[in-house]
Amino acid sequence: MTIQIDIFSGFFGAGKTTLIKKLIDEKVYSKKITLIENEFGEIPIDGAFLKKYNIEIKEIKAGCICCSTVIDFTNTLREIIKSKETERIIIEPSGVGKLSEIVKIVKKLEEDNDIHLNLVIAAVDVTMYEEFTELFSEFYGDQIINASTILLSRTQNVDDEELGKVVSKIREINETASIVTTPWDDLSGIELLGLSEADGQQIPRDEDLSVFDLEFDDHDHDDDDHNHDIFTSWGIETPKIFPVIKLKSIFESLKDEAVFGKVVRSKGKVQIDPVNWVEFDFVPNALEIRASEPDEIGRITVIGHDLNQAILDTVF
């Protein structure tokens, strides 16, 4: 049995975990799967979100699987493959994971193991493309250049002109990837997976899907220094209750770089009243709050550049 391997990359807040949850919720992954979850920061958030799905999760923390924890990552992959207890491996790198390095690791393991690198996806938040490209091109560009499928998220939040500009700029640096611009909610998980697995084959589809299918080609690029030092993370486990109106006020205030530093991402799960819980996702241009089931304790993480952690302590 050949084990299929899917890589879901993307910068902070692009929607990697949301995409994986969508595919699992819609039972697109019908076979037994194992998820390798790599988070930036000390407080695990995404792994906790996904544990309810009754899938095997291997969490790799305190470093990036393409550099500082590459040995742990490689050994984890080998152990999963050797056990022969899974049919598909999903890899979700951290937001600053270099997709080029992760692909190299998997391709190397392909030489001696019955595995197949199936999906190489980059989720890209269209609302943050210009800013993140300018500020964090080392990570952002590597993910876009080395993806065979680019799934643009939050496209419903921009007009056609802005969306077209982003697509054109992506096409300038990756001429061959399939680009999906349709809002994810408008596509089923099966459609998303089918488009991504096509590997450049022409797919019968409606014009409205706005998918550009071209032949996938491996990219050969020189390795850059993988400098995580520009990012810091702050996290907390908390029993405090955060009413929704207070959450919205906090995240509006986090946009003030002079006070908090450059916040690029926040996520977590907290209690909003004595009974109800929510999950939240924040990037500078969007805040999403969703109802969730109770947990043993609230968790919050904030990721950014030059974060003022003392102020974050007081706010949360």
Tokens of 2: 């050949």
CATH number of 3-212: 3.40.50.300
The reported pLDDT for the residue numbered 44 is 65
Tokens of 88: 């598909």
Distance CA(44)–CA(124), nearest Å, equals 22
Neighbours of 231 (CB within 10 A): 22
Nearest CA to 250 out of 276, 268, 237 is that of: 268
CA angle 193, 58, 50 (to 5 degrees): 55
Whether residue 195 contacts residue 181, with contact meaning beta carbons closer than 8 Å, is answered with: no
Each residue of 244-281: b (16+ CB within 10 Å) or e? eeebeebbeebeeeeebbbbbbbbbbbbbeeeebbbbb
The reported pLDDT for the residue numbered 204 is 30
Which DSSP string corresponds to 157-174? GS-HHHHHHHHHHHHHH-
The reported pLDDT for the residue numbered 127 is 93
> In terms of DSSP bridges, do strands 115-125 and 3-10 run parallel, antiparallel, or are they unpaired?
parallel
Whether residue 265 contacts residue 283, with contact meaning beta carbons closer than 8 Å, is answered with: yes
Query: What is the end-to-end Cα distance of the chain in Å, rounded?
Result: 49
Distance CA(136)–CA(224), nearest Å, equals 13
Tokens of 54: 């009754």
Identical fold, 3-212 and 231-315: no
| Domain range list for the chain | 3-212, 231-315
Contacts (Cβ under 8 Å, ≥6 apart) of 85: 32, 34
Architecture of domain 231-315: 2-Layer Sandwich (3.30)
Distance CA(108)–CA(130), nearest Å, equals 34
Phi, psi of 218, rounded to the nearest 5 degrees: -70, 145
The reported pLDDT for the residue numbered 31 is 74
Query: Which stretches of the chain drop beneath a pLDDT of 50?
Result: 199-225
The reported pLDDT for the residue numbered 47 is 61
The reported pLDDT for the residue numbered 207 is 33
Unique residue bearing structure tokens 């003392």 = 310
